[in-house]
């Protein structure tokens, strides 16, 4: 017999199983064809249990978007180091992001999210808006480097970070998600990261600071 102390862990496991099952169903069937019944069956729980955790399919989809966001924010992403060269630090950050962008499961989830965003842009904007309230790791790094006088981002680190993301995703995300291109090899990832960082520092780096 399970003790009361075991109940929170059991509840967490069931929630995780439901989210995992929903991810698999959305990837396999798409948003419209996925039902709460199928998710419950795949998770090995009752439909009532699914609804105890999530109000409906929209709430489940929001949880998956949150999972996408969390996966893209590395808990072990390095903080800005005032003693290290900017180029080396940025290359480290981009290498971590490129590893994620090469993950097949991440790309599959991204396709589902993008497809639903096209189908229901208002709902997608609301969900993404809530997720975007948390500042992501690259933006934090750029903000710190600018505050240290080593980058000139015109008081808009989020804009600068989005530019850098755009360069990387133009090679390592959008072609794979929208056109089915193969993930980048390690050599290609290195080339994209180095070119993106060099272009970024050419535009925003303070002279003589990038290598210090």
Nearest C-alpha neighbor of 107 from the set 68, 75, 137, 138: 68
What's the distance, CA 143 to chain centroid?
Answer: 19
Conformation bin of residue 106: beta by default, left when phi > 0, alpha when psi is -120 to 50: alpha
User: 204, 90 in Cβ contact below 8 A?
Assistant: no
Identify which has the larger pLDDT, 16 or 163: 163
| pTM greater than 0.85 (yes/no) | no
pLDDT score of 2 more than 50: no
> Tell me, what's the pLDDT at 153?
95
> Tell me, what's the pLDDT at 195?
97
At the second CATH level, the architecture of 76-204 is: Orthogonal Bundle (1.10)
> Tell me, what's the pLDDT at 133?
46
Beta bridge partners, 174, equal none
Instruction: Provide the 10 A C-beta neighbour count for residue 6.
Output: 10
Alpha helices in the chain (DSSP H): 7-33, 36-43, 47-53, 57-72, 86-101, 104-119, 121-131, 137-147, 157-172, 174-179, 186-204
pLDDT bracket for residue 26 (50, 70, 90):
confident
Identify which has the larger pLDDT, 196 or 19: 196
User: 102, 172 in Cβ contact below 8 A?
Assistant: yes
| CATH for the stretch 4-54 | 1.10.10.60
pLDDT score of 144 more than 50: yes
Domain ranges of the chain: 4-54, 76-204
What's the distance, CA 63 to chain centroid?
Answer: 13
pLDDT score of 198 more than 50: yes
Joined together, the tokens standing for residue 9 give: 């862990």
Nearest C-alpha neighbor of 163 from the set 125, 205, 200, 209: 200
- Mean pLDDT of all residues in 102-109: 80
> Tell me, what's the pLDDT at 1?
46
- Mean pLDDT of all residues in 190-208: 94
**Ranked by mean pLDDT, which of 15-19, 116-120, 141-145 comes out on top?**
141-145
Give me Rg for the CA atoms of the chain: 20
Beta bridge partners, 205, equal 151
Identify which has the larger pLDDT, 66 or 99: 99
pLDDT score of 208 more than 80: no
Identify which has the larger pLDDT, 188 or 128: 188
Give the HSE-up count for residue 41: Cα atoms under 13 Å, Cβ half-sphere. Answer: 6
């Amino acid at each position: 017999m399970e003790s009361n102390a075991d109940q929170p862990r059991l509840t967490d496991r069931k929630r995780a199983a439901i989210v995992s099952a929903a991810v698999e169903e959305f990837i396999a069937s798409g948003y419209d064809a996925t039902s709460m019944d199928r998710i419950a069956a795949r998770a090995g729980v009752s439909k009532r249990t699914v609804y105890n955790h999530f109000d409906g399919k929209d709430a489940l989809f929001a949880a998956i978007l949150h999972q996408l966001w969390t996966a893209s924010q590395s808990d072990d992403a390095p903080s800005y180091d005032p003693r290290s060269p900017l180029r080396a630090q940025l290359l480290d950050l981009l290498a971590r992001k490129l590893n994620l962008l090469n993950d097949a499961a991440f790309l599959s989830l991204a396709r589902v999210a993008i497809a639903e965003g096209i189908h229901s842009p208002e709902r997608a904007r609301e969900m993404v808006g809530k997720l975007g309230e948390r500042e992501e790791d690259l933006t934090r790094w750029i903000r710190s480097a600018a505050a240290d006088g080593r980058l000139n981002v015109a008081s808009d680190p989020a804009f600068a970070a989005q530019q850098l993301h755009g360069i990387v995703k133009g090679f390592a995300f959008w072609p794979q998600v929208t056109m089915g291109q193969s993930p980048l090899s390690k050599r290609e990832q290195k080339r994209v990261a180095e070119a993106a960082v060099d272009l970024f520092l050419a535009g925003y780096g303070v002279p003589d600071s990038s290598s210090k």
